[in-house]
Every structure is written in structure tokens, then in C-alpha cells.
């Protein structure tokens, strides 16, 4: 069984479409001080940049090894669980959990890899990014003024996770189940949508809305690789019958 320290290694912090390079540097410093080492960036506006280097201080090594990608799919391909941070509760949405509750989820599924997703400083996460998340998380802040700087939000999150992970005893049951990767899950959703289109099913209703609901439903199941393969096998047989 993995040790508690392995949890830190299995978590990557992902910044999406960050505008200010200083926030990238401050984020690197924030997560390194809490024992995390993986930083990924989706289409940062300015990176590499001297402001990022300056604010990273002793965490420039995280900037040097940061994964820079053009899409969410690329960054999370090897992850099993995607958690998006947003202050707003959305319609037709996933569970909206506190950081402590997120820590409990991570401990339960500690044998998996996690991506913690933070959106742009001004606009936050895009709807498309929200739809790909298994869980949504929020920081318990003043409801009359809950606006946190991006790197501050990351710092609070990293601290709260560390505090929960370092408890002497985990107070939840550990699940040994290894979930399908995001790439495997996304492949299934694309396959499902293609098959439903072959059946003409999505033409009769609001297709995008239905696919979002189906994604939420299957995400709650927490599918492993074998379960994804079984479902895709069923879809293949349906396609053969259609042909």
C-alpha cells in the first residue's frame, strides 16, 4: 500500500490560462512549501517570464520542470480524478465540496492520480473545464467578499490538504480501486456520444446537455479501466447492429 507521502506525489496543481506570470511563480512557491512538486500550465499568457522567476524565490525548480500544454486533455491524460476550484455553484453540476471534504476524497482514493484545476484570475474556470471535473471544490471564505488572489487560493488549498494528510490516523476507509485515467474516461465519453449520434438519439433532445448529465452520472460511478472497456465493448456491439 502507498505511504502517506505518496499522496503528495500523486497530486498536480494545474493553472489554466493564467494572465499574470507573477501568479505562476507565487503558486510554485506556495505548493513547494507545502510539500507538493507538480505544476502544470494550460496556455499561460506569459511564461517563462522574469516575474514568475522572481516570485518563485526558492521554487524555481518547479517552474523549470512545469508541464506546459495547450489543452486540459493533454495535462490530465494520466490523471484519474479531476477537481476544479470555483466559488460559484453551477447548474447541473457535480458535488461542491470544501477543501477538507476534498482531502477526504483524495485519501479514500489515494492510489490514484489527481489534478487540481484553477482557472483564470478574472474569469475563473470555463464551462467546458467544469464539465470535465469529477468534483468541484470551494474555499470557505467571507460570503460578502470571497475574492482571493490565484496564488493565495492555491496556498490555502495546499496548506489545508497538507494539514489533513498529516493527521496521525486517516478517519476514512482506503479504497484500493484504481480508476480509469482521464484519457480513458474521455475516450469512452467520445465513443458514447458517437454511438448515440449513430442511433439518432441526440438529434431528438438537447444533445450537449444530455452528454453533460451522462458524464456526471458515470463520474459518480468512478469507473476503473476494466469497466470502461466493458462499456466500450457494448458500444461496439451496438454499432455493429446499426451497420
Task: Let me know whether 199 and 147 are in one domain.
Answer: no
Task: Let me know whether 152 and 189 are in one domain.
Answer: no
- pTM for this prediction: 0.91
Pairing of β 67-69 and β 38-42: parallel
Q: Which pLDDT value is given to residue 92?
A: 58
Assigned domain for 171 exists = no
Query: What pLDDT, in 10s, does the model give residues 187-196?
Result: 999 999 999 9
Assigned domain for 174 exists = no
Assigned domain for 172 exists = no
Instruction: Print the domain residue range for 196.
Output: 182-242
Task: Let me know whether 33 and 117 are in one domain.
Answer: yes
Task: Please give the tally of structural domains in the chain.
Answer: 2
The band of 205, judged by pLDDT with boundaries at 50, 70 and 90, is low
Task: Let me know whether 31 and 106 are in one domain.
Answer: yes
Amino acid at each position: 500500500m502507498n505511504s502517506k507521502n505518496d499522496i503528495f506525489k500523486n497530486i498536480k496543481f494545474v493553472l489554466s490560462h493564467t494572465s499574470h506570470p507573477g501568479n505562476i511563480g507565487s503558486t510554485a512557491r506556495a505548493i513547494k512549501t507545502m510539500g507538493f512538486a507538480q505544476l502544470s500550465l494550460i496556455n499561460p499568457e506569459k511564461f517563462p517570464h522574469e516575474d514568475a522567476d522572481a516570485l518563485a524565490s526558492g521554487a524555481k525548480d518547479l517552474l523549470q520542470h512545469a508541464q506546459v500544454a495547450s489543452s486540459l486533455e493533454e495535462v490530465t491524460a494520466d490523471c484519474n480524478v479531476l477537481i476544479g476550484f470555483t466559488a460559484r455553484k453551477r447548474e447541473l453540476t457535480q458535488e461542491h465540496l470544501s477543501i477538507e471534504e476534498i482531502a477526504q476524497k483524495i485519501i479514500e482514493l489515494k492510489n490514484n492520480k489527481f489534478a487540481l484545476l484553477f482557472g483564470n484570475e478574472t474569469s475563473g474556470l470555463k464551462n467546458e473545464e467544469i464539465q470535465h471535473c469529477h468534483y468541484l471544490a470551494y474555499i470557505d471564505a467571507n460570503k460578502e467578499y470571497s475574492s482571493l488572489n490565484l496564488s493565495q487560493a492555491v496556498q490555502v488549498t495546499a496548506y489545508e490538504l497538507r494539514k489533513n494528510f498529516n493527521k496521525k490516523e486517516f478517519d476514512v476507509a482506503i479504497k484500493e480501486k484504481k480508476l480509469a485515467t482521464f484519457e480513458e474516461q474521455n475516450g469512452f465519453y467520445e465513443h458514447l456520444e458517437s454511438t448515440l449520434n449513430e442511433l439518432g438519439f441526440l438529434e431528438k433532445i438537447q444533445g450537449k446537455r444530455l452528454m453533460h448529465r451522462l458524464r456526471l452520472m458515470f463520474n459518480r460511478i468512478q469507473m476503473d479501466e476494466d469497466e470502461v472497456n466493458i462499456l466500450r465493448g457494448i458500444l461496439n456491439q451496438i454499432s455493429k447492429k446499426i451497420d
